[in-house]
Structure formats: structure tokens, C-alpha cells
Amino acid sequence: MPKIQIIEAEGEVTQALPNTMFRVQINSDSPKEVADKEVLCTLKGKMRMYRIRVMPGDKVKVEFSPYDLNRGRITYRSK
């Protein structure tokens, strides 16, 4: 059975919500499935464990499951 392909994209955090949820505007140069969308994202486990803070305006990398492209997981915060 093949492994599920994860879709990665870059975007900018537009809004911080309760329970470490964020609204992220995905860049237009991302894969066509998610380009120019605003999606709901949560933090990846390691970012939560090491208490990496994400604020509105930060550039982030987001990964998506191919099953639900309206929700993502923030995996990296750019400096």
C-alpha cells in the first residue's frame, strides 16, 4: 500500500485563534490545490512541545493531507 503524499505550501499567518489555531493565507506560488486559499491550521507537535510562538504576520510552512485541503498543520516558522 503506497504512503499518503503530503502537500506542502508556504503562507502567512493572518489571524491567531484560541487553542493554538491559526488562519493562514497560502501563497499563489504554492501547489495549485491550495494556492490563494485561506485555511485553518494548528501547530505540529514539536512546535507545541518546544513552545515556538507564532504571531500574525509570520511566514510559515504548512503541510496538508490530500483528504482535507481546508485544514493544515504548521511545521516551520520562518525567521
What CATH number was assigned to the domain covering residues 7-77? 2.40.50.140
- Is residue 62 packed enough to be buried (19+ CB in 10 Å), middle (13-18) or exposed (0-12)? buried
**By C-alpha distance, which of 28, 17, 9 is closest to 66?**
9
Closest CA to 39 of 18, 67, 14: 14
Determine the pLDDT at residue 3. 80
Q: What local confidence, expressed as pLDDT, does residue 1 receive?
A: 66
What is the overall mean pLDDT for the chain? 94
- Measured distance CA(68)–CA(79) in Å, rounded: 28
The 10s digit of each residue's pLDDT in 61-79 is 999 999 999 999 999 999 7
Q: Structure pTM?
A: 0.91
Domains of the chain, by residue range, sit at 7-77
- Could you tell me which residues come within 8 angstroms of residue 59 by beta carbon, excluding any fewer than 6 positions away? 10, 11, 12, 77, 78
